Chains A and B, each alone.
Chain A
Amino acid sequence: MENYLSTEFARSGPLLLAEALNKGRYKTAQRVFELMTPEQVVDEVKNSGLRGRGGAWFPTGIKWSFMPKPPLKGPSYLVINADEGEPGTFKDRAIMEKDPHLLLEGILIGSFAIRAETAFLYIRGEYLTAHDALATAIAELEQAGFLGDAVFGTKHRLRIVLHRGAGAYICGEETALLNSLEGRRGEPRPKPPFPAVYGAFGRPTSVNNVETLANVPAIVEHGAAWFKSVGTAQAPGHLLFGISGAVERPGCYELPLGTTARELVEKHAGGVKGGKKMRAFIPGGASTGFLPPEKLDVAMDPESLKKEGTMLGTGGIIVIPEEISVVDAARVFSRFFRHETCGQCSPCREGSAWSDQVIARFQRGEGQREDFTLLEEIMRGSKQRTICVFPEAFAGPLGSAIKHFRGEFESAMTTQQAPHA
């Protein structure tokens, strides 16, 4: 299977509409609007096994099938989650900056599938360059009649509202994003009700990630069978793997799901920078935590990583070189998660701050033996005990650091409490 997500990534600026049309873009969307029914689109995506690329890996077609069917009692919305903020993740940015029309064609088809006449594209505030590329591309579509009151000249209507966030990692959580879109604090909502019932502005809403929607035109064009021909049985298709940290050739690599971390790091990214040794790697963004180099042969798909006690997350691999201690790296994350928790639930607000304070002590060489139990209990007291899964996120690097690299923490304890030989 040829690459279908990253064909334009080598460009310096965004692919504009005229050139995109020359490459056959929007033919699929036009066919959808002119000839297909929403059910057919949903079925095709459902059959393809496409799962959400934002990190939760929920089947996209099933998510869409929760949306109301006629007779509709009011508007439904598509909300595009472009609030990419997971450290180690930069794939959505690449799509939006280089190939905004790939995403927009996915939005057209997705909106049609769930009968939405308005799509809100929520992009993180810092992605101003991507925002500008999208704004241009949306204007091009309006000009071309691909948006508006008669999409492709059909009776279908669609408008896309481009909306900038303002700096909050938690808004990547879909219900926090909806609150933020509504002009509120980005605090996740208790569920139920789920967005498909009560979403943006109280209306049924499907929230989909950028890369997920970027997969949709190809799936509808080539069919579910084509899509399933690569990747794993449970997670078919290509993924944009981001590889960063201490590697020779960091970047975004489009490869089938299930490719091993070793292939990604050693073959595609050229191995550890400067030929050094690897101390640890993070498989799929900050919240997936640390794995030791012995685990490099793990296949990068949700199921294989779950077996290793972690997650695929966003597929953003981060390589930590030998000269950096995992204690220091863990502190970067604990500080980050403390900074980013919304703070509404007591265990998460206090637990993220407390654990950061404890890790900071280890960093100063003031760790204590009891701190291991304490950190375990902070995680136990907050995981699955809050409105959203943020505690799972901060516990990812924390728990894995202690599990796989306990020795580094032990040598960062106060001397009088050093481990017995």
Chain B
Amino acid sequence: MSGSGQAKAEGLPQALVQALPEALAAELRALPLRYPQRRGALLPILHRLQEWRGHLDPADMRLAGEIVGISAAEVFSVLSFYTMYRQRPVGRFPIGVCRNISCWVNGSDKLVETVKQELGIAPGEITADGLFSLQEVECLGSCGTAPCLEVESRYFENLTPDKVRALLARLRAGASDPAAAIRSAQNEA
């Protein structure tokens, strides 16, 4: 299972790679070369795969393991340690509301309440149309601009319930291209 990381640099199992866009496959192959040991590339590879699929499924874990030369179980162990990796599908706009101290002191629970009311979902849930999901997250380092929420690690800060409603509307309007929608919402904020 573990194999030698060195030997598997090029010969990735075709079945695992072929589902990926060519550019992504090439990038995944190149990432381990940036590190003294191939395993160093594990976190970046998982980030890339998650950006592509939206979450990480068992095939992604196997592929990541093959690339860096560790077992799928070890990949599973590592990714389950980190909160940003998702083992289940989320909405096209996964919303993370910070619940830590400075955001909470400045009304983050009202933001959660607003999202709940607007979308009809509780933390951990996805809207029926698959557009939004909600979760509460720990400190995002936005304490000086609290309260804050993030969508795919893009921050929306100094929020109020009204601003949250406006944000949700903007995101919904741009649902065909989520990344662009998030960017433009950020620019307008």
Contacts and interface: CB of A to CB of B under 8 A. Distances in A.
Direct contact of A and B (CB under 8 A): yes
A329 B153 CA distance: 26
A157 interface: no
B43 interface: yes
A88 B102 contact: yes
A184 B138 contact: no
Interface in B148-189: 150, 152-155
B99 A165 contact: no
B101 A333 contact: yes
B99 A244 contact: no
B101 A84 contact: no
10 contacts: A90-B142, A128-B154, A166-B47, A168-B82, A183-B42, A201-B37, A203-B36, A244-B143, A245-B143, A320-B101
A166 B101 contact: no
B181 to A, nearest CB: 16
B78 A88 contact: no
Interface in A336-361: 336, 339-340, 342
Interface residues of A, number: 58
A169 B35 contact: no
A245 B102 contact: yes
A119 to B, nearest CB: 12
Nearest to A88: B143
B41 interface: yes
A245 B47 contact: no
B90 to A, nearest CB: 14
B138 A339 contact: yes
Interface in A83-105: 84-90, 92-93
A164 interface: yes
Interface string B9-47: 000000000000000000000000011110111111011
Given A244-B102, A250-B102, A89 B36 contact: no
B101 A329 contact: yes
A163 B99 CA distance: 26
A89 B47 contact: no
A168 B83 contact: yes
Q: Top 6 A-B pairs ranked by shortest CB distance?
A: A183-B42, A166-B82, A167-B83, A167-B84, A244-B143, A128-B153
B35 A87 contact: no
A245 B105 contact: yes
Given A87-B143, A88-B143, A126 B40 contact: no
Contacts of A252: 144
B128 interface: no
Interface hub of B41, B79, B138, B141 (most chain A Cβ within 10 A) = B141
A399 interface: no
A127 B84 CA distance: 12
A245 B163 CA distance: 20
Contacts of B78: 183-185
A166 to B, nearest CB: 4
A126 B143 CA distance: 14
A354 to B, nearest CB: 19
A21 interface: no
Nearest to A253: B144
Contact of B143 (A161, A242, A332): A242
B105 A320 contact: yes
Contact of A318 (B46, B68, B143, B150): B143
Interface string B119-155: 0000000000000000000111111111000101111
Q: Chain B interface: which size bin?
A: 35 or more
Contact of A88 (B36, B44, B101, B155): B101
Given A90-B141, A161-B35, A169-B138, A182 B40 contact: yes
Contacts of B154: 128-129
A75 B36 CA distance: 10
A186 B100 contact: no
A128 B141 CA distance: 12
A163 B43 CA distance: 8
A320 to B, nearest CB: 7
A183 B39 contact: yes
A283 B23 CA distance: 48
B155 A129 contact: yes
A362 to B, nearest CB: 17
Contacts of B139: 85-88, 169, 286, 336
A411 B60 CA distance: 52
B81 A185 contact: yes
Nearest to B37: A201
Contacts of B87: none
Given A87-B102, A321-B105, A250 B145 contact: yes
Nearest to B139: A87
Nearest to B152: A128
Interface in B63-102: 68, 70, 77-79, 81-85, 99-102
Interface hub of B40, B83, B101 (most chain A Cβ within 10 A) = B101
B40 A167 contact: no
A251 interface: yes
Contact of A332 (B34, B36, B101, B141): B101
A183 B105 contact: no
A333 B43 CA distance: 27
Contact of A90 (B68, B82, B99, B144): B144
Nearest to A186: B81
Interface string B42-61: 11101100000000000000
